Amino acid sequence: MSVIREEVLDKYSAKVYKNRKEHVITVGEGNPDVVSANTRAIPGIITQRGCCFAGCKGVVLGPIKDAVIIVHGPIGCAFYTWGTRRHKAIADERKGEKADSYLEYCFSTDMQEADIVFGGEKKLKKAIIEAMDIIKPKAIFICSTCPVGLIGDDIHAVAKWAEEEYGIKCIGFSCEGYKGVSQSAGHHIANNQLIRHIIGTGDKEPVSKYSVNILGEYNIGGDGWEVEKLLKRCGIEVISIFTGGSSYRDIKNAHLADLNLVQCHRSINYVADMMYDKYGTDWLKINFIGIESCKESLRAIGEYFGDIELKARIEEVIADEIGNIFEELTYLKSKLKGKTAALYVGGSRSHHYQLLLKDFGIRTVLAGYEFAHRDDYEGRTVIPEIKPDADTKNIESITVEPDPKFYKVFLSEEQKNILKEKGILLNDYPGMIQDMDEGAIICDDLNHFETEEFLKVLKPDIFFSGIKDKFVIQKSGFLSRQLHSYDYSGPYAGFTGSVIFGNDLLMGLSTPAWSYIHAPWKSNPCLEARLEVEEYA
């Protein structure tokens, strides 16, 4: 099946070809399959990747609703991250304690030429004074953009000053856009500061017998609410969510939870790892996208706590949720079965959604990540093999020591082994490849050019990606669904979300417009006959 890869990469120069062929593989051809990842994007090729600032401010910090995030830099970066991601939140009040939400707001120091020449620290300080005078938040995050690091503004000194001056939480995030090779660097920087400055500073004990944090759930289209609802139905308390719909005041209590559930491995695995080292909190890679995945994830949580009553409750909830969607699900399956899909999203979604597609009998022919690392493809067992390059080394990697007050061991080695025998992996992620069919293609850092080429060759029924390539896909005559923003739809998580997802696909595939693509006055068919799936499988 390398034929397909060769066909797509054929037009590259030798140098680019050499680079790209390491990123594009056919599952089952390697022994084992190796995907080059987290390397520099090729200039000029029109990558779909974003920058470090996007990963830090846009992804991890953005959804934290009660922190005022001041973007320190010229106006563009702040503007472009204003309400562009569909992470939802409600400003909830608890026990009369007012919870502000600043998600609808965008704060920037709006640096001008003079600030670049003479430094912007003073302006940043004044901006914080204004924020404290007028908005009075409990926490302020300062995010750097490209020029800030270059002109040497010390945002961390300003953050320290603000903490002393106002007694609030103020944290600097040096997430200049040029750092690392993609958003991923920004995730890491955000993770570091969360563990360093926030997690472990709260004292609100859980009230229920079993409590968890949900890591890497950003509440796009209400996914986080759907997941939290499922867990609550099972009697599991959710202490904090990283970071969809979440708040500074919840995240600071994260260390008091019994277990971490990791949804998006890429963006938050550093927090999971460091919490394991510092507080002894185990983490479980779960996935609430897909019906079978939801079942497995809930059952794994039941097994972890090992409580018969809890397990029984989980089974009841699963039975009830399935009962609610069964008829619709059966209908959707009958309509969607046999379709093919390509996915190009994020650092985890391309994996999660394959499992949901499988529930509907849709086969994945191409999957790729924008900013993943090798472990997201191949599993965490490859981590020791990954040689850190210059770009990786530039991102601080911190090690933490067990916390003398809060470190506790939840499960004995023996208990862990029992879990392992049941197929439940703790503190580990096996990666995307193991869930993929042989012959399917994996493409890391898929770019604009390759998207077009793969469409021509693979002709999937549905291409899942984002807004930047959406219109290329549609103009090529294919259904495009955005998996970053869900095209204004959602939630897609949980049992209910699966049906919403299925309906969206059916709606998209059967929209009458597709049938009019071929104008009656033209004799030759508009779209060439598509390859049958079997031909290359």
Partner 1 sequence: MTKSKIEPFVNLNVNPCKMCMPMGAVTAFYGIKECISMLHGSQGCSTYIRRHMATHYNEPVDIASSSLTEQGTVYGGEKNLINGLKNLIELYHPKVIGVATTCLAETIGEDVTRIIEKFYRENKEYQGITIIPVNSPGYGGTQYEGYFGALRTILEFVPMNCEKNNKVNVITSILSPKDTRFLKRMFQSFGIDIILLPDLSSNLDGVFKKTYDRLPSGGTSIEEIKDMAGAKLTLEFMNLELESSPGKYLEEQFGVPYRRLNLPIGLRDTDAFIKTLSQISGNEIPGEIVEERGRYLDAMIDSHKYNAEGRAVIFGEPDFVCSTVRLCVENGIIPLVSATGTTKKQMKELIEQEIKEVYERFFIKDYEIIDDVDFKKIENLTEKLDANILIGNSDGRRIEENLQIPLVRRGFPIHDRVGGQRLIMLGYEGSLSYLDDITNAICSKKETTFRDTIYQTYFENAHINNLNIEIEEKTKKHPCFNGCASNSARIHLPVAPRCNIQCNYCVRKFDCPNESRPGVTTKVLTPEEAFEKYKIVKSKIDNLNVVGIAGPGDALANFEETKETLKLIRDYDKNITFCLSTNGLMLPKYANELCDLGVSHVTVTINAVDVKIGAKIYQYVHYNGLKFEGESAAAILLANQLSGLRILVGRGVICKVNIVTLKGINDKHIPDIVKKVKDIGCYITNIMPFIKVKGSKFENLEPVSNKEVNIIRKECADIMKQMYHCVQCRADAIGTLDQDKSIEFEIDKKNNIKQDLTETYRFAVASKSGVLVDQHFGQTLEFHIYDYKDGRVIYKEIREINNYCHGEEVCEEYEDKLEKLLHIMKDCNGIIAMRIGENLKNRLHDRGMKVIVTYDRIEEAVKYAVQSM
CB nearer to partner 1: give 37 or 300.
37
Buried b (16+ CB within 10 A) or exposed e, 2-30: eebbeebbeebeeeeeebbeebbbbbeee
From 26-34, 313-321, 397-405, 467-475, span contacting partner 1 (CB under 8 A): 467-475
* Cα–Cα nearest to 383, from 450, 432, 429: 429
Amino acid at 386: I
Cβ atoms within 10 Å of 466's Cβ, excluding its own: 17
| Number of residues this chain uses to bind partner 1 (CB under 8 A) | 85
Contact between 471 and partner 1 per CB under 8 A? yes
Using only C-alpha atoms, what is the Rg of the chain?
A: 24
Quick check: 21 binds partner 1 (CB under 8 A)? no
**Residue 491: CA atoms inside 13 Å, Cβ hemisphere, count?**
24
Annotated catalytic residue, options 20, 187, 266, 373: 187
One of 1, 36, 276, 476 touching partner 1 (CB under 8 A): 476
Site string for partner 1, 231-270 (x = CB under 8 A): ----------------------------------------
Q: Residue 94, interface with partner 1 (CB under 8 A)?
A: no
In the block, which residue shows the tokens 């059967």? Answer: 510
CA dist 344 to 217, 365, 483, 519, Å?
18, 11, 9, 31
130 binds partner 1 (CB under 8 A): yes
Q: Which of 349, 351, 344, 342 is nearest to 432 (CA)?
A: 351
Site for partner 1 in 66-85 (CB under 8 A): 70, 73-84
Please tell me whether residue 61 binds partner 1 under the rule CB under 8 A. no
Residue 49 lies near partner 1 (rule: CB under 8 A): yes
Binding mask 369-408 for partner 1 (x = CB under 8 A): ---------------------xx--x--------------
Out of 31, 94, 95, 134, the only residue in the binding site for partner 1 (CB under 8 A) is 134
Task: Out of 4, 24, 52, 60, name the contact with partner 1 by CB under 8 A.
Answer: 52
Among 5, 35, 115, 275, which residue interacts with partner 1 (rule: CB under 8 A)? 115
Neighbours of 222 (CB within 10 A): 24
Catalytic residue check, 380: no
In the residue annotation, 188 being an active-site residue is answered as: no
Q: What distance, in Å, lies between the first and last C-alpha atoms of the chain?
A: 8
**187 catalytic residue (yes or no):** yes
Residue 169 binding partner 1, by CB under 8 A: no
- Spatial separation of the C-alpha atoms in residues 385 and 522, rounded to whole Å: 57
User: Residue 78 or residue 336: which is nearer to partner 1 going by CB?
Assistant: 78
Question: Considering 52, 54, 131, 234, which one is annotated as catalytic?
Answer: 54
Among candidates 516, 265, 235, 292, which has minimal Cα distance to 375?
265
**Residue 367 binds to partner 1 (criterion: CB under 8 A):** no
Cis peptide before 145 (omega within 30 of 0): no
Q: Which residue numbers are catalytic?
A: 51, 54, 85, 187
